């Protein structure tokens, strides 16, 4: 089966706390390492009650300190929120602490609502359209002999692995032009997935970083012993996406039985549109769903999010997913 990575947003449960979510994140990472997962990413989001991974570099350090073999990365850092030099120093520091285990995914969305985005701006001239120039500047800080007068210390000479993330054609075009690996955010924005993958592959130019296109595709998986149990687990993520899209962001809700039958047409459309790239069911059901999705996308790797309310059930879902991976 295709390689599978873990995407963890450190979900904060309804009635829970960020401290609890971070303990769960580290526990999941340690289990994932034992189950043979190779890549574990956390993502930058801001002002969202149900997501704890806003200080992404700090959280990566916490996970790396508690594990020994996982590659820990940002999926991703939203570069318009930051100075490229600061990110180079942060990830240069992480690489110095955990050599060969850190990687950096970059996106151009703010990872927040407009008000929070304004609060995050690094200066009054910050412009998401400057993203390609910011990516190039950041990558230059990681070179052995940076051409810039300012050096990233730590950072220079690390040759940090860099990915481009996206949910539209923009990121696909940039990743192809720079010859970088590309990760598409189909786990929450699948609408342009196939078009973006075609653009990336057709326009890819080999580089010193990568000889051939490499695509990692975002995916949701809710795996349990039975299809019905998995549907119950998935209902937390479904409620969360509805809440976010309806302008009432929340902590991760407790599961709700028979949720889909209780939704109105607008809510049903939100679930179908945002969570189309999902596998929900028993191991046999999920195995078939993954095979069909990989056949459709020709993905080199899946990065799987599982926003499950109960921590033990979340662990079990990733354990079953690892078994599916190893069986095929």
pLDDT digits (tens, 9 = 90+) for 245-260: 998 999 999 999 999 9
Distance CA 308, CA 230 (A): 10
Confidence of residue 176 (pLDDT cuts 50, 70, 90): very high
Buried b / exposed e along 11-46 (16+ C-beta atoms within 10 A)? bbbbebeeeebbebbbebbebbbebebebbbbbbbb
Q: Which of 47, 72, 39 is nearest to 58 (CA)?
A: 72
For residue 264, pLDDT beyond 60: yes
Distance CA 76, CA 160 (A): 14
For residue 188, pLDDT beyond 60: yes
Confidence of residue 124 (pLDDT cuts 50, 70, 90): very low
Residue-wise pLDDT for 49-66, tens only, equals 999 999 999 999 999 999
Distance CA 53, CA 43 (A): 6
Please state the rounded mean pLDDT for residues 120-148. Answer: 78
Minimum mean pLDDT range among 57-61, 162-166, 228-232, 324-328 = 324-328
For residue 308, pLDDT beyond 60: yes
Average of per-residue pLDDT values in the chain: 93
For residue 115, pLDDT beyond 90: no
pLDDT at 144: 82
Confidence of residue 296 (pLDDT cuts 50, 70, 90): very high
Distance CA 10, CA 52 (A): 5
For residue 128, pLDDT beyond 70: no
Please state the rounded mean pLDDT for residues 190-205. Answer: 97
For residue 314, pLDDT beyond 90: yes
pLDDT at 209: 95
For residue 226, pLDDT beyond 90: yes
Token pair 């599978």 in the structure block, residue: 4
For residue 122, pLDDT beyond 60: no
pTM for the model stands at 0.94
pLDDT at 28: 98
pLDDT at 47: 85
pLDDT at 95: 98
Measured at the CA of 205, the angle between CA 199 and CA 207, to 5 degrees, comes to: 140
pLDDT at 126: 55
Stated as kind and residue range, the H or E segment containing 103 is: strand 102-107
For residue 147, pLDDT beyond 90: no
Which percentage of the chain shows pLDDT scores above 90? 86
């Amino acid at each position: 089966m295709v390689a599978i990575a873990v995407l963890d947003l450190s979900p904060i449960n309804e009635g829970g706390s960020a401290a609890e979510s971070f303990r769960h994140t580290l526990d999941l990472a340690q289990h994932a390492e034992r189950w043979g997962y190779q890549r574990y990413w956390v993502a930058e989001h801001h002002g969202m009650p149900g997501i704890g991974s806003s200080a992404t570099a700090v959280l990566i350090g916490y996970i790396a300190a508690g594990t020994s073999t996982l590659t820990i990365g940002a999926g991703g850092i939203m570069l318009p929120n930051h100075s490229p030099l600061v990110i180079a120093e942060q990830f240069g520091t992480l690489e110095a602490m955990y050599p060969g285990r850190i990687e950096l995914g970059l996106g151009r969305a703010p990872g927040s609502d407009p008000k929070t985005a304004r609060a995050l701006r690094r200066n009054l001239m910050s412009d998401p359209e400057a993203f390609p120039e910011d990516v190039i500047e950041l990558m230059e800080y990681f070179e052995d002999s940076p051409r810039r007068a300012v050096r990233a210390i730590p950072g220079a000479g690390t040759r940090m692995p860099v990915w481009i993330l996206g949910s539209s054609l923009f990121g696909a075009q940039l990743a192809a032009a720079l010859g970088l690996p590309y990760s598409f955010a189909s786990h929450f924005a699948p609408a342009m997935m196939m078009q973006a993958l075609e653009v990336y592959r057709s326009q890819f130019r080999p580089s010193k970083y990568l000889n051939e296109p490499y695509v990692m595709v975002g995916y949701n998986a809710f795996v349990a012993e039975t299809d019905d149990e998995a549907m119950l687990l998935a209902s937390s993520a479904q409620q969360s996406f509805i809440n976010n899209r309806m302008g009432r962001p929340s902590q991760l809700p407790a599961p709700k039985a028979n949720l889909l039958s209780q939704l109105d047409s607008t809510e049903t459309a939100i679930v179908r549109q945002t969570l189309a790239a999902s596998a929900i069911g028993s191991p046999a059901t999920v195995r078939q769903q993954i095979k069909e999705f990989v056949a459709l996308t020709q993905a080199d790797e899946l990065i799987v999010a599982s926003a499950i309310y109960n921590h033990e059930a979340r662990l079990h879902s990733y354990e079953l997913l690892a078994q599916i991976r190893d069986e095929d």
